[in-house]
Amino acid sequence: MRTVVIAAVTAAGVAVAAGLLRAGPLSPGAGPVGPTYKTLGEIEPRVAIGPATTPEDSESLYVIAQPGSYYLTGPVQGVAGKYGIKITAAGPVAIDLGGFPLDGSVAAGETPTLDGIRAANAQTRLYIRGGVIRKWGGGGLRAQVGGAIVENLRVDGNEGIGLYVGQESVVSGCIAYDNALGGMNIGTATSISRCTAVNNGAYGFNGAVGVVMESCTAFFNVGDGVVLSSHSAVSRCASNNNGQDGFQLTANCRISDCIANVNSVAGIRAALGANDIQGNTVQGNGMGIDLDQPGNFVARNTASGNTTNYNMPGTQTTGPVITATGTITTTNPWANFSN
């Protein structure tokens, strides 16, 4: 009896499923037949950079004249006497380099190329990421516009400044290597993090007023490792083996938890007053911490192996400088150490 009941239920289920799976009518409904596919613009809404979409002009290989989102589909080889990509759009422009290089090298005797990427329209709001800009006769990326976002670029071997951004920008995860006129030039009120500048001429990083810098490194640059103008803050950075100062501050800056070792002139130099210098390590420099003017605050630093560990003339606010070796016996939380 149980076998009969199960067979009946199974047969009923098959019949119901067959009804549900029965094909619909073959005749189309009334009215025109509409497309069911997606357009190329719906699948890939960005614009590929190329001769048809971003045609050249007399001074540029490619020109982005309209706001939008753009991307590279392959490497770009520079042309003598021209920019690689020039951006003139009066609005937001996003460029994904896709990991491809923009190479500005030309044959010996040819006119040098200009900048790899140039944005000069004050109305442009640039977002660029993910590629290599190398060997241009000018700079690598020269974005003299405010509000730029720059991520994960490598700029190397350029004859100008590797990376240049205007005010109120954000720069992260970038590398500047062997650029003749400097690694990175950072505009007013810009945030920069996780960037590296190595073996550049003039300087590694040069920041304007109100820059915030975190977790960056500057090594083996011909001039200063890091230069910051007034009202700036730098933390958890390393600036070593540079031809002049490791860090050079003007006024009203804060430097904390940084390392400055084996720089030819000073590890940390404060050119003016009202700077806050706390919790740093300076070793093996010509001068450890060098204060050129009065009015600075210096505490909780460690200096060792410098020609002069501390140069703090005039009226400064400092923790005591402890020179004794061995067990630390001071209980002063503001003490600086020298050995």
Compute CA 151 distance to the chain's CA centroid, rounded to the nearest angstrom: 5
pTM of the model: 0.87
For residue 47, what are the β-bridge partners?
Answer: 70
Helix, strand, coil percentages, rounded to 5, for the chain: 5, 40, 55
In three-state secondary structure terms, 42 is helix
**What is the tens place of the pLDDT at every residue in 283-333?**
999 999 999 999 999 999 999 999 999 999 999 999 999 998 899 999 999
Residue 41 has pLDDT above 80, yes or no: no
**If you count DSSP H runs as helices and E runs as strands, how many of each does the chain have, helices first?**
2, 36
pLDDT category at 123 given cuts 50, 70, 90 is confident
208 Cβ contact partners less than 8 Å away, ≥ 6 residues apart: 167, 186, 187, 188, 190, 229
Amino acid at position 301, single letter: N
In three-state secondary structure terms, 13 is helix
Q: What is the mean pLDDT of residues 81-105?
A: 97
Amino acid at position 275, single letter: N
Q: Among positive and negative, which fits the CA dihedral 180, 186, 187, 188?
A: negative
**Per-residue model confidence (pLDDT) at position 237:** 98
In three-state secondary structure terms, 303 is strand
**Per-residue model confidence (pLDDT) at position 264:** 98
Tokens of 205: 């990083």
**What is the tens place of the pLDDT at every residue in 54-77?**
999 999 999 999 999 999 999 999
HSE of 60, CA atoms in CB hemisphere, 13 A: 20
Average pLDDT, the chain: 91
